[in-house]
Chains A and B, each alone.
Chain A
Amino acid sequence: MSSAKSAAAKAKTKRILNIVITYCILLIVAFIFFFPCLWLILASFSKSGSIYTFDGFFPTEYSVASFNQLFTDTVMYNYPKWFLNTLFIAVMSCILGTLLTILTAYVMSRFRFKSRKAMIKTTLVLGMFPSFMGTIAVYLLMTQFNLINQQWGLILIYSGTAPMGYLTQKGFFDTIPYSIDEAARIDGASNFTIFIKFILPLSKPILVFTALTSFAWPWSDFILPKMLLIDQDLYTVAVGLMSLDETQFSRFAAGSIIIAIPIIVLYFCLVKYMINGMSAGAVKE
């Protein structure tokens, strides 16, 4: 009797210990991920602006001067303009890129045609090349097409290369049963109608995932804009913030926070779609 009791007590302490340890680890993890963000937020409210006057991680005095400066002092660093540029490029590439990726994935999942296998293999091999191996060529190409220093040049590159990453989306379309297509075809619907009226409404999760990823890439990319945009007025936020002087740390922090907020909000609202989208591609790839 007593041994059973002690065993139960032992199991209980073990469980409590388990819970305590779990929460300790969670706290540490949360701290590790949150602290740098907190540091950046605090830094953006620093009064002096320079990192050298900080008291360790914390500014000595607080004010909103950096944010003010960001939007009013636009002669050297025109942050509002950069922000609008980034928004324009990201939204346009998101729309075009999502459209092209979804079309490619749908076709590759639903149709069987002669060059399909060859196409799939080609994209796999092309994916193995270092991502910006062709950067110089792209640069020269853009000079030939007169698209250097133009936002449309960037949009074309982002959306033109987007279909290469169609595999995740194809994995999703593969999971939509064929019986839907067949039923619609008996009713006399063409493939185009099936795609628009039946498949697309079912694909909301993957549409959201695709749109989100193809928005986030131009939003935070720095390699292409840095190479293709020359005028300060055309800069995206990434290039602009990188051009800031090192003494302007809190201005950098303030600019970073403003550019990070929209994407953070999007991710938090759509986290369910992210998880589903990522695993859809993983299982089916």
Chain B
Amino acid sequence: MEKAKQILRSFFSGLCNKIASFFKGIPQKLRSKLAAAKEIITQGNGNVGASMCIMGLGQLLYRQWAKGTLYVLLQAAFIIYFVMRGGADFFGLFTLGQVKGDAWYGIKGDNSIIMMLMGILSVIMIIFYIAVYITNIKDVYRTQCAEDTLKRPPSFTSELKDLLDKKFYKTALVLPIIGVCVFSILPIVFMILIAFTNYGGDIVPPELVDWVGFENFGSILSLGQFASTFFRILGWNLLWAVLSTAINYFAGLALALLLNKKCVKGKAFWRAFPILAYAIPGFITLLGFKFMFSYGGPINFYIQEGGGKAIGFLAVNSKWAARFIGLGVNAWISIPSTMLLATGILSNINTDLYEAARVDGASAWKQFIKITLPYVVFATTPVLITQFINNFNNFGVFYFLRDSVRSEGYFLANNTDLLINWLYRMSIDNNYYSIGAAISLIIFIITSIISLVVYVLSPAYRQEETFR
């Protein structure tokens, strides 16, 4: 415990130092950037100036036709976009609409949510444009320097060729970056912003949405219906994440070690069963288990056969039964993947170590404790963190097993719901968008803090520090 404290303390002081030095570095970076800009402005000739006014003009004046035309076209495209909708979109991001729609008078009002989304998109577009603009100026200045020293500037074809060689990374990353920007970053930014508005409930378009600051967080953490539900779910969610990660990890590891034993013949055959479970799509497994534990399902059939009364394992009044079933089902689904992972890692262990240990007369148990376990734990810590986060946000299990159940004392939730299930039901099924967004921000904060701490305490991180 003392050790852990010490590590954490040293980590956080290190973190603070890093942050401090980062901010201390900013003025210097800025100064060097400014100096570079100043150099271009003072040293640049008329052509550079032309490019500053109209992107690509300088290149055209240097008779770089293809490149110049390309820049000019980009400039034109951006201006058209900005005039047609980009500019309005950008300002819409701040106002979120001023005209309320009224079907009676035929007024087509502003749709705040679309305005926000398109506003964020316009910000991304503007950033892209500025980046292109800066490369344009740098490019024409480079040409000028080359001309001044009587060198030939690189031709357009050679520059194109460079895009497949030295600058291949630019070509390769264009599509991935666009994809991630549109489908990951834009939605996340959107949801972060939504958390600070009053979007949801009665306030959905055509009503106008407004910025409300931290109000949503206040109502989750301190007021009435949301707060009590939130803290109940949070407690169970943390317990669930820890328990299920521990069960899956150790059981998967144990299974891999079992299959790795020398005396086991036909490893491929025994391994086939967990792989079968792993390969079946999750929704099938979950729906199947739901049937298995339902009132008319086989488990209850045997209970009734034995003279008992049918038990509603997943019904309203079962709390811990449903939770344990959830843990079991999740283990059934997740243990095989841990097993496969551990198998891969076990096959990478250096066998010389065991040879040496045997010569020294170490028992099998001792070999396991001293060689196998540290190695596997060291290699799997990053995966452990990922698994913890995945379990914390495990949507499927309770969505399939108990989505329709509502428990007393919970607002739009039941006693097995995880935060992610609650968030889904609040925002997708019941329109509490802003509250849902605020919950997802809180989930983000919790998971990132936990994984940071676990990462710092993990042997992988410590060893990296000591060996480097």
A→B interface (CB under 8 Å): 15, 18-19, 22-23, 25-26, 29-30, 32-34, 36-37, 39-40, 51-52, 54-57, 100-101, 103-104, 106-107, 111, 113, 123, 125-126, 128-138, 140-141, 144, 156-157, 159-164, 190-193, 195, 216, 219-220, 222-223, 227, 238, 241-242, 249, 252-253, 256, 259-260, 263-264, 266-268, 271, 274-276, 278-283, 285
Give 1 or 0 for each of B126-165: 1 = CB within 8 Å of chain A CB.
0000000000000000000000000000000000010011
Interface residue from B117, B379, B424 paired with A137 (Cβ < 8 Å): B117
Residues of B within 8 A of A241 (CB): 283-284, 287
Interface segment among B31-39, B225-233, B240-248, B340-348: the answer is B340-348
- B332 and A238 within 8 A (CB): no
Give 1 or 0 for each of B390-419: 1 = CB within 8 Å of chain A CB.
000101000000000000000000000000
Give 1 or 0 for each of B75-114: 1 = CB within 8 Å of chain A CB.
0000000000000000000000000000000000000011
Q: Min CB distance, A180 to chain B, in Å?
A: 16
- A126 and B188 within 8 A (CB): yes
CB of B285 within 8 A of chain A? yes
CB of B264 within 8 A of chain A? yes
CB of B433 within 8 A of chain A? yes
Within 8 A of A (CB), among B244-302: 255, 258-259, 261, 263-264, 270-285, 287-289, 291-292, 294, 296-298, 301-302
**What are 5 A-B pairs at a CB distance below 8 A?**
A29-B258, A144-B114, A216-B281, A263-B280, A275-B340
Q: How far is the CA of A259 from the CA of B393 in the complex (A)?
A: 26
Residues of B within 8 A of A40 (CB): 284, 288
CB of B44 within 8 A of chain A? no
- A160 and B180 within 8 A (CB): yes
Q: How far is the CA of A62 from the CA of B393 in the complex (A)?
A: 40
CB contact under 8 A between A220 and B161, given known A22-B258, A268-B272: no
Q: How far is the CA of A260 from the CA of B277 in the complex (A)?
A: 10
- B395 and A52 within 8 A (CB): no
With a 10 A CB-CB cut-off, give which of B172, B272, B296, B451 has the most chain A CB atoms.
B172
- A283 and B161 within 8 A (CB): no
Q: Which residue of A lies closest to B111 (CB)?
A: A140
Q: How far is the CA of A56 from the CA of B301 in the complex (A)?
A: 5
- A128 and B444 within 8 A (CB): yes
- B179 and A103 within 8 A (CB): no
Size bin of chain B's contact surface:
35 or more
Q: Which residue of B lies closest to A283 (CB)?
A: B379
Q: A26-B259, A134-B188, A275-B340 provided; 20 other pairs, C-beta below 8 A?
A: A22-B261, A26-B258, A37-B277, A51-B296, A103-B175, A123-B180, A131-B393, A133-B423, A135-B187, A140-B113, A140-B117, A156-B179, A192-B164, A192-B171, A220-B281, A252-B287, A253-B288, A256-B284, A256-B287, A279-B347
Residues of B within 8 A of A162 (CB): 179
Smallest CB-CB A-B distances: 7 pairs: A134-B187, A279-B344, A220-B281, A160-B179, A137-B187, A192-B164, A190-B165
CB of B389 within 8 A of chain A? yes
Q: Which residue of A lies closest to B445 (CB)?
A: A128
With a 10 A CB-CB cut-off, give which of B289, B297, B332, B344 has the most chain A CB atoms.
B344
With a 10 A CB-CB cut-off, give which of B279, B336, B379 has the most chain A CB atoms.
B279
CB of B314 within 8 A of chain A? no
Q: Which residue of A lies closest to B285 (CB)?
A: A36
Within 8 A of A (CB), among B287-332: 287-289, 291-292, 294, 296-298, 301-302, 305, 332
- A220 and B176 within 8 A (CB): no
Residues of A within 8 A of B169 (CB): 107, 111, 113
Residues of A within 8 A of B190 (CB): 134, 137, 140
CB contact under 8 A between A129 and B165, given known A39-B288, A104-B176, A160-B183: no
Interface residue from A37, A107, A126, A156 paired with B172 (Cβ < 8 Å): A107
Residues of A within 8 A of B395 (CB): 131-132, 223
Q: How far is the CA of A275 from the CA of B271 in the complex (A)?
A: 12
- B301 and A26 within 8 A (CB): no
Residues of A within 8 A of B187 (CB): 133-138, 141
CB of B206 within 8 A of chain A? no
Q: How far is the CA of A99 from the CA of B311 in the complex (A)?
A: 50
CB contact under 8 A between A163 and B180, given known A128-B444, A259-B281: yes
Residues of B within 8 A of A101 (CB): 176
Q: Which residue of B lies closest to A52 (CB)?
A: B296
- B283 and A222 within 8 A (CB): yes
Residues of B within 8 A of A222 (CB): 283
- A160 and B182 within 8 A (CB): yes
CB of B173 within 8 A of chain A? yes
- B173 and A19 within 8 A (CB): no
CB of B380 within 8 A of chain A? yes
Q: How far is the CA of A82 from the CA of B169 in the complex (A)?
A: 39
Q: How far is the CA of A271 from the CA of B279 in the complex (A)?
A: 10
Q: Which residue of B lies closest to A284 (CB)?
A: B382
- B185 and A126 within 8 A (CB): yes
- B168 and A192 within 8 A (CB): yes
CB of B166 within 8 A of chain A? yes
Residues of B within 8 A of A54 (CB): 298, 301
- B345 and A283 within 8 A (CB): yes
Interface residue from A156, A192, A195, A220 paired with B282 (Cβ < 8 Å): A220
CB of B383 within 8 A of chain A? yes
Residues of A within 8 A of B443 (CB): 130, 133
Residues of A within 8 A of B255 (CB): 29
Q: Min CB distance, B419 to chain A, in Å?
A: 8
- A26 and B182 within 8 A (CB): no
Q: Which residue of A lies closest to B341 (CB)?
A: A278
Residues of B within 8 A of A191 (CB): 164-166, 168
Q: Min CB distance, A30 to chain B, in Å?
A: 4
Interface residue from B173, B191, B382 paired with A285 (Cβ < 8 Å): B382
- B273 and A130 within 8 A (CB): no
Q: Min CB distance, A193 to chain B, in Å?
A: 8
Residues of A within 8 A of B336 (CB): 33
- A136 and B114 within 8 A (CB): no
Interface residue from B176, B288, B337, B448 paired with A103 (Cβ < 8 Å): B176
Residues of B within 8 A of A280 (CB): 344
CB of B440 within 8 A of chain A? yes
Q: Min CB distance, A276 to chain B, in Å?
A: 6
Q: How far is the CA of A133 from the CA of B426 in the complex (A)?
A: 12
Residues of B within 8 A of A160 (CB): 178-180, 182-184
- B183 and A19 within 8 A (CB): no
